[in-house]
Structure 1
Amino acid sequence: MKTLKSIFTISFILGSLTIASAQFGGNGMNTRNQQSIQNTNNFGRYEKSPEEIEKERAENIEKSVEALKTELKLDELQIIVIRKEIETSTKKIFAVVKNEELSEEDKAKEIEAISEKTDTTINTFLNAEQKEKYKKFIENRREKLDKLKDKRLR
C-alpha cells in the first residue's frame, strides 16, 4: 500500500508538472510564433522558457490543491500547508528530473523518496476521515494515470 501511495504521489506531482498546455489566440500570434521558433531545439521540439515552466507549474499546483480541497473538504490552514508541501516537492522533483548526472533508476528512487515524504507530510495534517478520502483519491488518480499510460503505449 505504501508503494501504491508513493507511485501515485510521484505520478501526481509529475503529472502536475506536465499537464498544462498552451493555447495561442489570434492576438499576438506572430510574436508567439517567433518565440516558438526561437525556443525550438535542434530536434524540433519546443523548449519552454523558465517563465512558462514556472507558470504551468503554479497552475498545476493550484489545480491539484483545488481538487484536494474539494475532495477532502480541507480547511484554510490545511490548504496553506498542503500547497506549500506540494510546491516544495515539485521543485525538488523538477531538480531531480533535470539532473543529468543521475541515472533513470536513481532519479526514480529520488522521486519516490520525495513523494513518500510529501505523502507522509500531507497525511499528518489530515483527520481520520480525510485520510480515508485521500487514500481513495490517490487510488482513483492512480487508475486514471494507468489508463493514460496504456493509451500512450498503444
Structure 2
Amino acid sequence: MKTLKSVFTISLLLGSITFASAQFGGNRMNNGMGMGMGTRNQQNIQNNSNFGRNEKSAEEIEKERVENINKTVEFLKTELKLDELQIIVIRKEIETSSKKIYAVVKNDEISEEDKTKEIEAISEKTDTTINTFLNAEQKEKYKKFIENKKENLNKLKEKRSR
C-alpha cells in the first residue's frame, strides 16, 4: 500500500496542480475533483479477490504514468508558452525522471525514508535540467509552479498524517 501511495505522490510531483488535485481528491464528488477516482476504486474492489486492496497491473501503472506525463507537459506548454523544441526536451526529461522514480518506488530493498530522499534528488535534478531550457520569464513561472506543487504535497502529507 505504501508503494501505491508513493506512486500517487510521484504523480503529484510530476503532474500539474489541477491534475494532482484531481488525483488526490479522494471521493469529493460534489466539486468534481476526483470524480473518476471513486468509481475506479469501487471497480478495483469489486474485481479484486483481495477485498480492499487497490493493486494495479503493470499496464495500468504504465498507462497512468504516460497520462501524467502528457498532462504535465500539456500544462507546462500552456502555462510557460513553450516552443516545440522546449516541449520535446522537457517531455524527454520528465519521461526519464518518471522511469527513475518508478524504479526507486519498486525497489523493496530501500527504506521509505531513503526512497523519499532519492525521489526528491531526482525531482530536483529534473527541475534544474528543465530550467536550463527556459527563458527568464518561463523560469519565474516554473518556479511558482514548483512552489505550488510542494505546497500541495505538504498539505497532502498533513492530511494523510491525521
State the TM bucket, normalised to the shorter chain: 0.7 to 0.9
The answer on 1:150 being equivalent to 2:150 is no
Aligned match of 2:70 = 62
Q: Which runs of 4+ in 1 moved over 4 A?
A: 14-17, 20-25, 35-41
The corresponding residue for 1:76 is 84
Give 1:108 shift.
Answer: 2.1
Match of 1:111 among 116, 119, 124: 119
Gaps of 5+ in 1: 1-8, 26-32
Residue number in structure 2 paired with 1:88: 96
Could you tell me which residue of structure 1 aligns to residue 61 of structure 2? Answer: 53
Aligned residue pair count: 138
**Which residue identity lines up with residue 100 of structure 1 in the other structure?**
D
Q: Using the alignment, how far apart are the partners of 1:88 and 1:57 within structure 2?
A: 11
Asked if 1:135 corresponds to 2:143, the answer is: yes
State how far apart, in whole Å, the 1-side matches of 2:153 and 2:91 are: 21
**Separation in structure 1 between the aligned mates of residue 87 and residue 121 of structure 2, nearest angstrom:** 23
Q: Does the 8 A contact of 1:85 with 1:118 survive in 2? A: yes
Question: 2:29 maps to what in 1?
Answer: none
Please report how far the alpha carbon of residue 40 of structure 1 lies from its aligned counterpart in structure 2 after TM superposition.
4.7
For structure 2, list consecutive stretches of 5 or more residues without a partner in the other structure: 1-9, 25-35
- 1:129–1:11 CA distance, 2 compared to 1 (3 A): same
TM-score, normalised by the number of residues in structure 1? 0.73
From 97, 110, 128, give the equivalent of 1:102.
Answer: 110
Give the aligned CA root-mean-square deviation in angstroms.
3.2
Which one has the largest radius of gyration?
1
Secondary structure in 1 aligned to 2:55? coil
Cα deviation for residue 104 of structure 1 reads: 1.9
Question: Residue 14 of structure 1: CA displacement?
Answer: 8.1
Distance in 2 between the 1:83 and 1:36 partners? Answer: 34
Equivalents in 1 of 2:124, 2:109: separation in Å? 23
Cα distance in 2 between the residues matched to 1:148 and 1:108 = 15
- Sort the Cα spacing of 1:59 and 1:11 in 2 relative to 1 into closer, same or farther, 3 A: closer
% identical aligned pairs: 71
Q: Matched residues in 2 for 1:132 and 1:109: separation?
A: 25
